[in-house]
Structure 1
């Protein structure tokens, strides 16, 4: 198991099974899953309050879509790393989320290796960002 306790993750997906699967995969690899949200509104509230390092954000959700939530989150948190989780391979959807400044995406159905590889790709960036920021006092 990797030592990723210092990496906080927020999971946002309207599907209970998807959230549970992501939580189990991430916690098994030592990540600190600090919250879970069911929709874009809750995602924005939790992201602002919990300040995660990484957000796993579903694209298609009721009320507020992942794309809309991403835009709102970006307004208040420019340096959070967002990985979109989607079953869509529609080029228009993929293009829109890439333009919105995501750090990667996970295509459903996924397996543990794909999730951990994708999240692992941004962990180094998270830690590098921390070193660049002056310590908060």
Structure 2
């Protein structure tokens, strides 16, 4: 297994696509959610290896989720998936220190390779 994942995005099609692809790549999908509050709840209960999270979501956005997950575990691997190019949002994201920010659209293979490299870093 390549690691355990929770997926957070308000677009159900993206959740389905990522779930299917990551399962094929031998990742364990522990849960999915549609806002930052669900991300925090799932992270607290499940403690996955990775949190893949969109930023722009209704109610509780990904910034809320990122901030609160990092308060729970400053070493949590949170990969932010965003199509937002607003500089003020980008600054807020970077202040919260996600593991990686991946700009949408991105090839799913790039995401898989990124997760594998975080899980199994090449020794220097």
Q: Same fold (TM over 0.5)?
A: yes
Q: Secondary structure at the match of 1:63?
A: coil
Aligned to 1:85: 81
Aligned to 1:107: 103
Tell me if the contact between 1:47 and 1:73 (Cα under 8 Å) persists in the aligned partners.
yes
* Higher alpha-carbon Rg: 1
User: Unaligned stretches of 5+ in structure 2?
Assistant: none
Q: 2: CA distance between counterparts of 1:99 and 1:63?
A: 21
Question: Which structure has the higher relative contact order (CA within 8 Å, separation 6+)?
Answer: 2
- The number of equivalent residue pairs is 122
Aligned match for 1:60, one of 56, 62, 74: 56
CA RMSD after TM alignment: 1.7
1:58-116 per-residue CA deviation (whole Å, 9 max, x = no partner) reads 10111111011111111112221000011113333223212211111222222221211
